[in-house]
Amino acid sequence: GYLPDEQNDVECKDIDECKLDSMPCSQGCNNTEGSFNCYCYPGYMIESDRVSCKACEIPFYGDNCKQTCDCNGRGSCNTVKGCVCDVNWTGVNCDIDVDECALTDACPEGQLCENTNGSFTCSCPIGYNMEGGVCKDVDECFSLLINETCNLQTEVCINTVGSYRCECKHGYARDNKFMCQDVDECTQQIDSCQHLCHNVGGGYNCECEAGYRLADNRQNCINVQDLCKASNMNCTNGCTLDDEDKPFCICPRGYNSLVENGYVTCVDINECASAENNSCSYKPGCNNTDGGYICSCPAGSKLDNNGRNCLACSGDTWSVGCSHSCTCGIGAERCDPVKGCVCKSGYTGDNCNIDINECTSGALTCKEREVCINLHGSAKCECQSGYEYDDFGHCLDINECSKNNDCSQICTNTEGSYSCSCYIGFTFNSTSNTCLDMDECQLGKHQCDQICTNTDGSYRCSCTDELVLQLDGVSCGAENPCTSILCSEKCANIKGLDTCLCGKGKTLAKDNTSCDDLDLCKITPCSEGCVETKENKTYECTCNFGKYLAMDGITCTECIHGKYGMNCNKICTCQMSNTKTCDTVNGSCSCLPGWKGENCTIDVNE
């Protein structure tokens, strides 16, 4: 730690080992008087030699690996920083929920954001419904609820964006209690009658005094008094005076005069045959009567109080004369004045309250390994339990064994599921889904000569005082066995007989004294291929083209969609959206109908 001082031969000066080219520390170095100290960067700890550093073993992290990760299952442990939290979680221990609603653009514009534990939800304001991820205005006027708000006898429902309002019908006005009351046009003198006014609900009718009749405009009155005195007038239906006060025979309204032999005969006028006389707003609805005509209206409208005009059905009324009310269900798009309830896609029935099950009707066909889920007004396809979508929209088996699962020891992945099993020395409890230690000693499933002691997952043999445990670990014999045989490797006295034993990777030869190499691949549990390493006395399982070795190191699993070749290390070049299958062995593409070509990229011109 010191060198002679070149300027003073009797003194020594400290060596700064940290600045030497051969600085001994693997990471950080602090010089001290006559020596030095090594230190490690965060995520490492000093080895026993005090100069080398080794990486922290999870769950330890930080300076000299003194801190422990506790991520609460919501993140992974970084040996330098500690917990690296999953999305939606933060904090040292990933125990603080991230309020996504405090962030911008968590939900689309116009939607309400509600933070939840580890996530968030988007919803629509009152007056809107969520359809396909978009908030759409609810037309409350087609909902049964309007019967509790709008009085359909005196009010009409007007839909607005996000809400609705009730307005008084024509001929009604709100009083000081905000109720729609009939406007008495007659007493308020806002009518158009020439003589008499008769108020009716939502309007009024005009009437004439004696000697007058109502004109075609249903407001004015025409003089029909018999003012004629001349004895030479042969009028069967009375007479009247013209503008010059000259008498002339008249016919009742709706008749024409026909003069024959000095007499006037009244002939019915077919008002419906003349556009001039037919004052029905709906001309085809004119029906001639003796001395007049009546008007009718098509479906989706009703006759106004004047008996001539057709008014479109309002609110939730429909049919001829607006005689029916729409009692539409949740699947109604609107109330049509002619047809009634018009259903949205995915609903049927007179009231649109019957959901169409697209899954059973064949309207929606799901792909392989998918299940059809019926929804209100629609349906969707989801992967079956035990499967999940890949980047190409195909359902692939979930390897539950590579994720968190409830197996306590051995997890074996299966198609669409998985199974649990136990190591040798344990039994599986299907009720608790756990592995319990097997007491081989009590069950008699041991090979001990004398004393058996149960251990966790196994057992241990021992002998009485006068005997010792032999090399096979189960036999009891004399302390110095094998005086009668010469073995090439090991020897033990088993059940009173001197017996030769072989080490790992070998088996006893036919002469019962020498050892031969064991062919490990003949006894391997590999599902397909096996490669033996003579030097290390081990073996390794291999798989055929189109398969890869599972996590258990034994089972071969077929390549997932989109990969092929040895160990599934090649990626298919097929256009996956146009491809039915990609061969897991050679990567050749099998195209969906309508596509062709080596990579299924050429559209077939049908």
Residue at 9 is within a domain:
no
Is residue 584 assigned to a domain?
Answer: yes
pLDDT band at 537; cut points 50, 70, 90: low
With respect to residue 103, please indicate whether it lies within any of the assigned structural domains. Answer: no
Nearest to 188 by CA among 176, 178, 173, 177: 173
Q: Give SS3 for 182.
A: strand
pLDDT at 489: 82
Q: Is the pTM of this model over 0.75?
A: no
Domain count, the chain: 5
Task: Examine the domain organization and report whether 237 and 309 are in the same domain.
Answer: yes
Q: Which residue has the higher pLDDT, 8 or 26?
A: 26
pLDDT in tens, 30-59: 988 888 899 999 999 999 888 899 999 989
Q: Are residues 484 and 503 in the same domain?
A: yes
Please write the tens of the pLDDT for every residue from 266-281. Answer: 889 999 998 888 999 9
In this structure, is residue 464 part of a structural domain?
yes
Higher-confidence residue of 43 and 562: namely 43
The CA distance from 227 to 212, in Å, is 12
Residues 208 and 231 placed together within one structural domain of the fold:
no
Burial 454-468 (b: 16+ CB within 10 A, else e): beeeebebebeeebb
User: Is the domain of 217 the same as that of 230?
Assistant: no
Q: What is the mean pLDDT of residues 144-151?
A: 65
Residue 462 pLDDT exceeds 80: yes
Q: What is the pLDDT of residue 230?
A: 47
The rounded percent of the chain whose pLDDT value lies above 90 is 26
**How do strand 212-214 and strand 221-223 relate by DSSP bridges?**
antiparallel
Instruction: Find the mean pLDDT for residues 254-263.
Output: 77
Write the DSSP string, 128-160: EEEETTEEEE--GGGSGGGGGTS-TTTEEEEEE
pLDDT for 84 equals 93
Instruction: Name 482's Cβ contacts closer than 8 Å, sequence gap at least 6.
Output: 491, 492, 493, 498
The confidence score (pLDDT) of residue 83 equals 94
CA 340 from centroid of its chain's CA atoms = 33
Is the Cβ–Cβ distance between 392 and 562 less than 8 Å?
yes
Indicate if the pLDDT at residue 144 is higher than 60: no
Q: Please, what is the average pLDDT of the chain? A: 85
Same-domain status, 230 and 212: no
CA distance 386 to 60: 34
Residues 504 and 458 in one domain: yes
- For the segment 335-375, what is each residue's pLDDT rounded down to a tens digit? 999 999 999 989 999 999 999 999 998 888 898 889 999 98
CATH of the domain at 291: 2.10.25.10
Bridge partners (DSSP) listed for residue 84? 76
Residue-level pLDDT at 231:
46
Q: What is the mean pLDDT of residues 5-16?
A: 74
pLDDT at 300: 93
Which residue, 486, 518, 550, sits at the end of a domain?
518
Whether the pLDDT of residue 309 is over 80: the answer is: yes
Residue 303 lies in a domain: yes
Instruction: Verify that 465 and 510 share a domain, yes or no.
Output: yes
Q: Does residue 418 surpass a pLDDT of 50?
A: yes
Please identify, among 323, 350, 385, the residue that sits at the C-terminal boundary of a domain: 385
| 232 and 304 fall within a common domain | yes
Cβ neighbours of residue 470 under 8 Å, at least 6 residues apart?
476, 477, 481, 492, 493, 494
Please state, in angstroms and rounded to a whole number, the distance separating the CA atoms of residues 164 and 161: 7
Domain-located, residue 199: yes
Same domain, 178 and 217: yes
- Looking at residue 78, its pLDDT comes to 92
In a domain, 208, yes or no: yes
Q: Could you tell me if residue 271 is inside a domain?
A: yes
State whether 231 and 309 are in the same domain: yes
Residues contacting residue 130 through CB under 8 Å, at least 6 positions apart: 123, 124, 136
pLDDT score of 382: 93
The residue range of the domain holding 474 is 438-518
Same domain, 278 and 238: yes
**Are 268 and 255 found together in one domain?**
yes
